Amino acid sequence: MATYAIGDLQGCFTAFQRLIDLIRFDPAQDKLWLVGDIVNRGPDSLSLLRYIKQAGDAIIMVLGNHDLHLLMVAVGIAKNHSSDTIQSILDAPDRDELLHWLRQQKLFHTQGQYAMVHAGLLPSWSVAQAEQLAHEAERALRQDNYQEFFSQMYGNQPNYWQDDWTGYIRLRVIINAMTRMRICTATGNMNFAFKGDLQSIPPGYVPWFGVPQRASQKETIICGHWSALGLHITDNLIALDSGCVWGGQLTAIRLEDRKVFQLPCAQ
């Protein structure tokens, strides 16, 4: 039995199939952890979504910003952009079943020494606090009147956390940190515009995982979202977005021994 974590898939179903063949994934005994952004930009989001759904407990995923974008487009709150490749899901006969299933997925997953989130955690959040905050946002995503929440979910403000935030502002900050953040200030002010590499981070900001004394540093965080960062592994961080959808690589890591598996992706 082995547990593998895999970076952002973004509709690259063929590359995903090749990678799980490479690692000899056996759903009867192994586990896959997926860091989110399952859909969009790549050529076959529908097949990927169907595969993950039917895999049941063998696959654990957290939601990424592209997965949430699909849900927002489906209810008419966001627009289907020219670069989006989610129309096949919206047109599928099992669309409603797939989208309902997607809304039930986690924003944050923790087990043993590892915790998984799509983008990152604010510096003041411990893993235990992040788990509780994720549950709050997950309940809003899963409720019957989720469309009301969706109408308030988008927005870049506030870009920092206060424990006494309430209502939709509180939930927006949780989701923005967990699905969109790459860099922040030492006090946790998020910058959502930056998408570059480590060398081009603007003054006053650091990678979210580089904030000194961040509260989650005792656990190992597994994440994706930052393709310009690429594969980045330290004692307490495993960042797995190696840009498959942009012609980079698709990456898996076996958590038991941290062995890395990679294969090239067609652009």
Per-residue pLDDT reduced to its tens digit, 203-236? 999 999 999 999 999 999 999 999 999 999 999 9
How many residues are there in the chain? 267
The torsion of the CA quartet 174, 243, 70, 82, rounded to 10 degrees, works out to 130
- Beta bridge partners, 222, equal 116, 238
CA 128 to CA 233: how far, in whole Å? 22
The answer to whether 70 and 91 have CB atoms below 8 angstroms apart is no
Rounded Cα–Cα distance for residues 90 and 70 (Å): 9
Q: How many helices (H) and strands (E) does the chain have?
A: 8, 13
pLDDT of 266: 84
Encoded tokens for 75: 């209810």
Give me the pLDDT at residue 106, please: 98
Q: Are 242 and 231 in contact (CB under 8 A)?
A: yes
Neighbours of 179 (CB within 10 A): 24
Distance between CA atoms of residues 16 and 61, nearest Å? 14
Please report how the helices 65-74 and 146-153 are oriented relative to each other, as an axis angle in degrees rounded to 10: 120
d(CA 257, CA 38): 25
Q: How many CB atoms lie within 10 A of CB 254?
A: 15
Dig out the tokens for 57 from the structure: 């407990």
54/11 Cα distance (integer angstroms): 16
User: 235 phi and psi, to 5 degrees?
Assistant: -60, -35
Q: Which pTM value belongs to this model?
A: 0.97
Encoding tokens for residue 193? 């515009």
Q: Which residues of the chain have pLDDT under 50?
A: none
Q: Report pLDDT for 267.
A: 65
- For position 73, what pLDDT does the model report? 97
User: For tokens 């977005």, what's the residue?
Assistant: 241
